[in-house]
Amino acid sequence: MSSALFIEQLLNGLQFGVMLFLMAAGLTLIFGVMGVINLAHGSLFMVGAFACAVVAAATGSFWLGLAASLIAAAAAGAIIEMAIIRKLYNRSHLDQVLATFALILIFSDATRWVFGSFPYYLDIPPILQGAVTLPGGLQYQLYRLAIIGAGILVSIGLYLLISRTRLGMRIRAGESDREMISALGVDIAKLNTIVFAVGAALAGLAGALIGALQSVQVGMGEPVLILAFVVIVIGGIGSIKGALAGAVLVGVVDTMGRFLLPKLFTIFMDPSQAATAGTALASMLIYIVMAIILTIRPRGLFAANG
């Protein structure tokens, strides 16, 4: 195994982690402020991907598609919050799970009805096509590096939004005491809609960015949603910093596990058995890591109120 191949897989894990962060940041923001378990977050990921694919195909511009993904996902999120989620704030988490699970089915069937069951494909914009040479002579896909860069910019933007703006101050206050900021004159309903729309836009952005690396199809958000929940549990529910740390950890562990474990098992197994056993263990690895972290830190790495 060459060092170049190892570094390439490490960068792939980082890119995967950044994509998970875009999903998990919105999810943990929504849960931290509103206390809502939103299983439909993966559907907003899908909405962003389809909006980008359709607009990019119609206009020939990936960048217009990217803007459309943000607008479509944010609009869908705001409508969901005002029409459905707003009625669930004082209900049990079971009611929230059932209602948002129903939204998954509605979004999936509606998307299949409008766009059909066949996958769509996004082209990487010409400016981001090809590979770049990294230190050491490693050739790495420019678009994947751009995703990593976009994730870093989004994390910085979220930090500044939460810590340096009046809206961020209200979001942090809403996490601690919703009743108090409502009594102080803050329109809590408007704040909830804004937070939900921001979280949805991040999910839509993730869907659009990953859509150029894989097909855009119905149901593409559900597998990512499961990993996003793992991320926020590891990082600490309600913590943006925890979402970033958890996402990078999950992305790197999952990618490197799938790359290294089959090779490791060839030491004492024949190649076919090693591939089977290594792949099976790799698929469980992030859950093993989650169990270990929760044993040591039950509220996650960076608990929001810890």
Q: Where are the domains of the chain?
A: 10-125+138-220
Q: What is the pLDDT of residue 72?
A: 95
Q: What is the pLDDT of residue 193?
A: 87
Q: What is the pLDDT of residue 306?
A: 45
pTM: 0.87
pLDDT along the chain (306 residues), means of 10: 78 91 86 78 92 92 93 94 85 86 91 87 88 79 91 88 79 66 72 87 92 88 88 85 90 88 80 80 88 89 66
Name which of 10, 17, 11, 9 is nearest 247 in CA terms: 17
- 177 by DSSP, 3-state: which? coil
C-beta neighbour count of 57 within 10 angstroms: 13
Q: What is the pLDDT of residue 175?
A: 62
DSSP for the chain, written as a single string: --HHHHHHHHHHHHHHHHHHHHHHHHHHHHHHHH----TTHHHHHHHHHHHHHHHHHHHS-HHHHHHHHHHHHHHHHHHHHHHTGGGGTTS-HHHHHHHHHHHHHHHHHHHHHHH-SS-B--PPPGGG-SEEEPTTS-EEEHHHHHHHHHHHHHHHHHHHHHHHSHHHHHHHHHHH-HHHHHHTT--HHHHHHHHHHHHHHHHHHHHHHHHTTS-B-TTTHHHHHHHHHHHHHHH-TT-HHHHHHHHHHHHHHHHHHHHHHHHHHTTTS-HHHHHHHHHHHHHHHHHHHHHHHHHH-TT-TT-TT-
Q: What is the pLDDT of residue 9?
A: 87
